[in-house]
Amino acid sequence: MAGDRERCLAAGMDDYLSKPVPREDMEMMLRRYAAAAAGPAGPAAPADVEHPESGRIDRSTLLRAVDNDGSILEELARLFEGQAFGQIVELRAAIEAGDAEAVRRLGHALKGGLATLYAREASALAHEVEEAGRSGNPERARRVLPQLEAEVRAIPDELFELARTVAAEDA
Amino acid sequence: MKVVLADDDKVVVQMISAGLKKRGIEIIPAFDAMQAVMATMKSAPDAVIMDLNMPGGTGVEAVRRIKGSTKTGVIPIVAITGSATEEARRSALDLGAVECLEKPIDLDALAALLQRLTGAD
């Protein structure tokens, strides 16, 4: 629930997962925080949702596509969270395994969802991953992964926030 | 108008479904190639929107099956893909798709294309 997430974050927690927690979501979250704690080489810190004009999502185009419907945005956020977090976990494993075809496939899969949400930079990063796999050089995807992961992780919250903004405007 | 929409990406299905519903088009969602073929056989839609990059190239296989059946062969298919390279576009058209669109899909353009293909107002 979006409300639960807000209450948890407001209470000072760093993050939130709702039950039943998919194993891969938990794993990805723990890895991310472990990497962040390990030092500056780790992925970016959790998204700062206090900057609505993050440039992460082309908001005006997205809002036009969903006809300013906040409930659609919320549904998109849930669906994206449900599939993209798992794809990131799979991607990491594919890079570790040096599996170029899996890297290509996962890069392509991530790109489809990200492009659909008009997350242009993240979509470009996913495209780089796809090309790294296609060219038989999955190791190249490793360089892109932290930034892609940070983007993917931040997008659901940004969509929820955008949904609230739209709902507030309608009220 | 009734359209089967097949994509294994739930975000894409939700986005296109919501957009087309708002434009008065009924959507029958399918999340893999088998569902897409079954839904097309069963509900005789006015058109099919098919992601070509579902796992194992099964979107391509679904297009072949739909086009290969006398019952469903005349139904227009619009292919969608994450990267509409010239090669992807050509193979989609070779398979019998009428058009190949790249994500993100422009919903106004898609709705207009569907109207044109089905001769609806």
The residues, any chain, with a CB within 8 Å of residue A168's CB and separated by 6 or more, are none
pLDDT band at residue B18, thresholds of 50, 70 and 90? very high
Does A75 sit within 8 Å of B14, measured CB to CB?
yes
Residue of A90, A116, A120, A134 to mutate, interface with B, max B Cβ within 10 Å:
A116
Q: Is the pLDDT of residue A40 over 60?
A: no
Among A25-39, A41-55, B23-37, B82-96, which is the least confidently predicted range?
A: A41-55
Residue-wise pLDDT for A105-120, tens only, equals 999 999 999 999 999 9
CB pairs under 8 A between A and B: 68
A43 to chain B, closest Cα gap in Å = 25
Q: Is the pLDDT of residue A163 over 80?
A: yes
Chain A CB contacts of B18 under 8 Å are: 66-67, 69, 72, 75
Residue-wise pLDDT for A88-141, tens only, equals 999 999 999 999 999 999 999 999 999 999 999 999 999 999 999 999 999 999
Backbone φ and ψ of A165, nearest 5°: -60, -45
- Strand B47-51 and strand B77-81: the pairing is parallel
- In chain B, which among 67-106 make CB contacts under 8 A with chain A? 82-83, 103-105
Q: Is the pLDDT of residue A170 over 80?
A: no
pLDDT band at residue A8, thresholds of 50, 70 and 90? confident
Interface predicted TM-score (ipTM) of this complex, two decimals: 0.84
Query: What pLDDT was estimated at residue B8?
Result: 93
Residue-wise pLDDT for B73-104, tens only, equals 999 999 998 876 787 778 888 989 999 999 99
Instruction: Report chain A residues touching chain B, CB-CB < 8 A.
Output: 65-67, 69, 72, 75-76, 79-80, 82-84, 105, 108-109, 111-113, 115-118, 127, 130
DSSP B13-81: HHHHHHHHHHTT-EEEEESSHHHHHHHHHHH--SEEEEETTSGGGHHHHHHHHHHHSTTTTTS-EEEEE
- B106 or A25, which is more confident: B106
pLDDT band at residue A2, thresholds of 50, 70 and 90? low
Does B55 sit within 8 Å of A111, measured CB to CB?
no
Query: What pLDDT was estimated at residue A39?
Result: 53
